[in-house]
Amino acid sequence: MGAIAGTLSIMVGGTDEGFERAGPILAALGKTIVHVGPAGAGQVVKVCNQVVVALVIEAVAEAPVLGAKAGVDPAVSPMCCRAGSPRPRSSRCAATICCPAGSTRDSASGCI
C-alpha cells in the first residue's frame, strides 16, 4: 500500500553518489527518504525500528493483563491507552490489540 501510494519512509545506506542516483526511484516510492550512512546502514536502521515496534506491540499486549491483575476492567484499558497516546495511529493499533474478544469496536469505547 505505501509503495503504491508513494508514502513509504525509506532509510538508505550507500554512497552519496548512489543515493543521489537512486533519488528519483526512491521518490516515487516514498515521501520520507533519509540517507543514513554507508552500505548496510539502511538495513540496520530498519532493524532498530522494528525492534522498537515489536517492543511496543509486546507492551500493548501486556498492559491490559497487568491492569486486569490489579483489578482494572480490561474493557476500559483501550480507551485510556487511546486517550493518553500522543500518536493516533499507534493508539488505534493499541486499541485493536487490547480490546477484549467480543467487545464493541467503536470510538466511544476506544475499541476501533
- Residues noted as catalytic: 46
Burial of 55 (0-12, 13-18, 19+ CB in 10 A): exposed
The enclosing H or E element of 18 equals helix 16-29
